[in-house]
Structure 1
Amino acid sequence: MEFTTPVVLENSRARLRPLEASDFEALKSVAFDPNLWEHILTRGDDAVSLAAYLAAALQGRQQQQRYPFVIIDRRTGQLAGSTSYYNMVAEDQRLSIGYTWVGSAFQRTGLNRAAKHLLLSYAFEELGCERVELETDARNHKSQQAMRRMGATEEGTLRSHRPTQGGRRRDTVIFSILRPEWTELGRTVFAEFDARG
């Protein structure tokens, strides 16, 4: 899955566009909150760690291993956070959505769900995916609940799966959505964002 031109996605609530190094200043106001990064693999709650986060995301895009977006709240026009496609395997018709964080002022507003709608729609309808995976730290119960509410199926826990902050290894809970499930989820869970309905 190659992204040869910039991907910009938009629905009634959210706009996603490619993350750029110049987004640093706008993201500072939402990223500098230690609580946001508690269950994320890295941190971005100070100038050094946010700069490193952006550099890693942009390097991942350059190496075609990741496609990072900024999440823009269409109600305010503010940059609210970031999310990415990664683990993109064209021959298996699958990818993962993750590296997602949204500023605390934008949580529980529907913005994250709107962003997931855009990413899932594009993955299934434009990229031809048969499977989209989502993963989260086993300790992040809030994220797991959000994935269940959006209709993702919990598949299990990968023990000692990835290195995370502080030199520890995290257990990762894997969720997925399959192409046949997406049609129904678009009409139900994500109906408010579905322009076809």
Structure 2
Amino acid sequence: MDYTKNIVLENSRVRLRPLEAADFEELKTVAFDDSIWQFTITRAGDVLSLAAYMAAAEQARQAGQRYPFVIIDRASGRLVGSTSYYAVDPDNQRLSIGYTWLGAQYQRTGLNRAAKHLLLCYAFGTLQMERVELETDSRNQQSQEAMRRMGATEEGTLRHHRVLPDGYRRDTVVFSIIRPEWDGLRHSVFAAFDA
């Protein structure tokens, strides 16, 4: 994974490009909604926390720990959220997709699945990964259902796994997609984006 590379991915619904400091003003219009951050480890629901979120994402990219993207709705051209690759393990050919959030008005519209399509295509194709992992708070039923609908396999729950900003120690549900499953999912669940 080359963290210095300017990775731009696009399908019929969304465009992903690297998150930049200049995205702050437009992301403000969708990020300042507490409901988005209810189950997340990082928060960006106000000016200070969004600035900190973006700075941390850039620092993690420079350190080779995370590759953050901005999600652009191709229909409107608007920035609607962000997602990232992280925990990239080239020796074991696996990585995680996470730090994903969308403005409330863009949830359940297909944009998240379209973004996941791009990230999975790049992970299994260009990066030659064998395994992609996704995690979510055990209380976040909407996120878990989205992962199931995209064909990810629920592997189990890591108890008392992460501490949230409010001090709550969450259980994390782990999902994955592996290379032998990808071709079938690409031509079924993600077929609308793979034209």
| TM-score band, normalised by shorter chain | over 0.9
Q: Structure 2 unaligned segments of length 5 or more: list them.
A: none
Q: Secondary structure in 1 aligned to 2:45?
A: coil
Query: Shift of residue 172 of structure 1?
Result: 0.4
Match runs of 1:36-55 below 5 Å: 36-55=36-55
CA RMSD for the aligned pairs?
0.7
Match runs of 1:72-91 below 5 Å: 72-91=72-91
Asked if the contact 2:3–2:62 (Cα under 8 Å) also holds between the matched residues in 1, the reply is: no
Q: Structure 2-normalised TM-score?
A: 0.98
Q: Is 1:134–2:134 an aligned residue pair?
A: yes
**Alignment length (residue pairs):** 195
Q: 1:77 and 1:174, CA in 2 relative to 1: closer, same or farther beyond 3 A?
A: same
Q: Is 1:118–2:131 an aligned residue pair?
A: no
Query: Which position in structure 2 is the counterpart of 1:63?
Result: 63
Q: Supply the distance in 2 between the matched residues of 1:176 and 1:67 (Cα, whole angstroms).
A: 19
Q: Supply the distance in 2 between the matched residues of 1:84 and 1:4 (Cα, whole angstroms).
A: 14
Q: Is 1:157–2:154 an aligned residue pair?
A: no
Letter matched to residue 48 of structure 1: L
Q: Supply the distance in 2 between the matched residues of 1:69 and 1:102 (Cα, whole angstroms).
A: 12
Q: Supply the distance in 2 between the matched residues of 1:48 and 1:135 (Cα, whole angstroms).
A: 26
Asked if the contact 2:15–2:71 (Cα under 8 Å) also holds between the matched residues in 1, the reply is: yes
Q: Is 1:21–2:21 an aligned residue pair?
A: yes
Letter matched to residue 130 of structure 2: E
Q: Supply the distance in 1 between the matched residues of 2:46 and 2:146 (Cα, whole angstroms).
A: 27
Q: Supply the distance in 2 between the matched residues of 1:17 and 1:183 (Cα, whole angstroms).
A: 24
Query: Which position in structure 1 is the counterpart of 2:30?
Result: 30
Q: Secondary structure in 2 aligned to 1:165?
A: coil
Query: Shift of residue 169 of structure 1?
Result: 1.6
Structure 1 runs, 4 residues or longer, greater than 6 Å off:
none
Query: Shift of residue 63 of structure 1?
Result: 0.4
Percent of residue pairs identical: 68
Q: Structure 1 unaligned segments of length 5 or more: list them.
A: none
Q: Secondary structure in 2 aligned to 1:177?
A: strand
Query: Shift of residue 2 of structure 1?
Result: 2.4
Q: Supply the distance in 1 between the matched residues of 2:97 and 2:177 (Cα, whole angstroms).
A: 11
Query: Shift of residue 96 of structure 1?
Result: 0.1
